[in-house]
């Protein structure tokens, strides 16, 4: 609780009060935990995309005044804003108990973990959903097939959240002529032995967003080890690509915001909030220096993304 309050005190809160023309009584709050950066970019796209709405910027500190009318929907930007909003809503009585929350710009794992953490405090009938940063497995496998066609043995470090996905991943991989080499990781000290085991037969490592395995503290060792084995790491974020991964398919903040706007429109039209959604749009990041050093010829990210979109039947 103390951590939550102190974070709120530091965090800048941008509250946009959006009055939707279609339903004049419906107000939407957009909660941003940090000023600037990708959060601001997302908020700006949300604001522009839900046009015709009136924006009110406020720098008030939470708790918001209880006297205020609850909005019809809260949209949070980033994992911290989602966490703090749920924390604030927890135990808030009356009309607040049914305010739905749409999280954006966060990994699915973060959404699930935070929703579960606050579940005892927030009312069961509240609708929760998210526009997450994760990418469909099929798209990631298509990326491997397109960008690294000579590397069919795909290594995966499967943490607790990835393990249930393995059968589906294996099936999808086999369908594309790829072979899955997975090793389970249930604790931090299993990462390294698992990586070594996978590197014995894999010729590319696919990093899936999995907090037990991939975070800033483990990234360095994983990148150095895979590089020494001359096996490229295909990651899930442009930040990892900058750090040394060869490739990633990812959704930009703008693309995630656009997906969230679609979800808000659906909710507005009375269809409620769908389950968490991944972005339809995506980009591909390439680290050309690391690729060249590994002797790989990887096309430009834009060209790969173009081909993948065509495969998915997009524009």
Where along the sequence are the contacts to other proteins (CB under 8 A)? 37-39, 78-80, 105-107, 109-110, 113, 133, 150, 187-189, 192, 196, 209-212, 214-221, 223-225, 227-230, 236-240, 242-244, 250, 253, 287, 289-290, 292-293, 295, 297
State which residue, 31 or 106, has the beta carbon closest to other proteins.
106
Q: What is the nearest approach in angstroms of other proteins to the Cβ of residue 161?
A: 10
Q: Shortest gap between Cβ of 42 and other proteins (angstroms)?
A: 9
Distance CA 276, CA 104 (A): 9
**Sequential DSSP letters for the chain:** -HHHHHHHHHS--EE--EE-SSSTT-EEEEEESSSSHHHHHHHHHHHHHSTT-------PPSSPPTTSPPPSEEEEESHHHHHHHHHHHTT--GGGGG--EEEEEE-HHHHHHHHHHHTTTS-TT--EEEEES---HHHHHHHHHHH-TT--EEEEEE-TTTGGGHHHHHHHHHHTT-EEEEEE--SGGGHHHHHHHHHTT-SEEE----TTT-SHHHHHHHHHHHHHTT-PEEESSHHHHHHT-SEEEE--HHHHHHHHHHHHHHIIIII-PPSPEE-S--EEEE-HHHHHHTT-----HHHHHHHHHHHTT--
Would you say 55 or 239 has its CB closer to other proteins?
Answer: 239
Would you say 51 or 150 has its CB closer to other proteins? Answer: 150
Complex with other proteins: residue 34 or 306, whichever CB lies closer: 34
- Rounded least distance, CB 236 to other proteins, Å: 7
Least distance from other proteins to the Cβ atom of residue 36, Å? 12
Q: Judged by CB, which is closer to other proteins: 270, or 295?
A: 295
Q: How far is the CB of 75 from other proteins (least distance, A)?
A: 15
CB of 65 to other proteins, least distance (A): 29
Whether 147 and 167 have beta carbons less than 8 Å apart is answered as no
Please identify, using beta-carbon distances, which residue of 6 and 221 lies nearer to other proteins.
221
Q: Which is nearer to other proteins, 47 or 161 (CB)?
A: 161
Q: How far is the CB of 94 from other proteins (least distance, A)?
A: 31
What is the closest distance, in whole angstroms, from the C-beta atom of residue 29 to other proteins in the complex? 19
Closest to other proteins by CB, 72 or 207: 207
Contact, 55 vs 16, CB < 8 A? yes
């Amino acid at each position: 609780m103390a951590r939550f309050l102190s974070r709120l005190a530091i965090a800048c809160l941008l509250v946009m009060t959006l009055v939707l023309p279609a339903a004049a009584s419906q107000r939407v709050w957009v909660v941003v935990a940090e000023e600037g950066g990708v959060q601001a970019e997302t908020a700006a796209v949300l604001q522009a995309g839900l046009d015709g709405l009136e924006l009110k910027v406020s720098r008030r500190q939470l708790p918001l005044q209880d006297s205020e009318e609850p909005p019809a929907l809260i949209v949070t930007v980033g994992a911290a804003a989602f966490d703090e909003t749920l924390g604030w809503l927890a135990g808030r009585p009356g009309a607040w108990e049914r305010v739905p929350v749409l999280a954006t710009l966060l990994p699915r794992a973060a959404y699930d973990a935070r929703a579960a953490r606050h579940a005892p405090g927030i009312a069961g009938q509240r609708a929760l959903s998210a526009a997450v940063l994760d990418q469909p497995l099929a798209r990631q496998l298509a990326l491997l097939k397109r960008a690294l066609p000579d590397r069919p043995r795909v290594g995966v470090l499967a943490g607790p959240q990835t393990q249930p996905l393995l059968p589906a991943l294996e099936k999808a991989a086999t369908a594309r002529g790829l072979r899955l080499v997975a090793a389970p990781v249930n604790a931090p000290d299993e990462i390294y032995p698992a990586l070594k085991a996978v590197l014995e037969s894999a010729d590319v490592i696919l990093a899936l967003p999995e907090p037990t395995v991939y975070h800033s503290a483990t990234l360095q060792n994983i990148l150095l080890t895979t590089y020494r084995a001359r096996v490229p790491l295909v990651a899930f974020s442009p930040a990892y690509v900058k750090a040394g991964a060869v490739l990633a398919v990812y959704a930009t903040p703008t693309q995630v915001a656009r997906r969230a706007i679609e979800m808000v429109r659906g909710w507005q039209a009375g269809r409620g909030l769908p389950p968490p959604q991944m972005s339809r749009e995506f980009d591909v990041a390439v680290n050309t220096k690391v690729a060249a050093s590994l002797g790989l010829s990887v096309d430009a990210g834009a060209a790969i993304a173009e081909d993948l979109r065509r495969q998915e039947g997009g524009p």
